[in-house]
Structure 1
Amino acid sequence: MSIVWLIIIGAAAGFLATRLMKVETDIITTIGIGIAGALIGGLVLRALLAMMGMAAGLVGAVLGAMLLIWAWQSFQKK
């Protein structure tokens, strides 16, 4: 997956994940969360990506971003 595609998918995933988890962040944080989530989701769901194609990449990126938001909120409250 190219870097440009990762940024595009990451931005979309970050936007979706922050909206699904009702988190208000600025655009840079949203994109950063999405890109990190795309990396996490890409590693975890690599087998799913091979079976389902690009749609699985978006699903994995959103799930990874949601996991990252959950962890961020958990550690931020302490």
Structure 2
Amino acid sequence: MSPVSRREADVRRILEQPQPPVPPELYTEAVRRGGRMMRRRTAARRLTWLLLLAAAVAFVVWMSVAQPWVEPPSETTPPLTGW
């Protein structure tokens, strides 16, 4: 018997056994924690989207003010030749 089929047989044996009863307090605690996790995930997702939107707006404002695609003015004069 290979290790994979042995593990599979063990899992099948465990699943075929009768399951122990779950205490009602455990169910209510799981529902409470699950709801809290869902609210935290939703808040984190919204905060992430808000930060992404703020970064995009800041980038667009910077691009419109700084205009990095425009060549900066020359700080030195070109050499005079041909005089």
| TM superposition score normalised by structure 2 | 0.28
* Larger helix fraction of residues: 1
Q: TM-score, normalised by structure 1?
A: 0.30
Larger Rg computed on CA atoms: 2
Which structure has more relative contact order (CA 8 Å, sep 6+)? It is 1
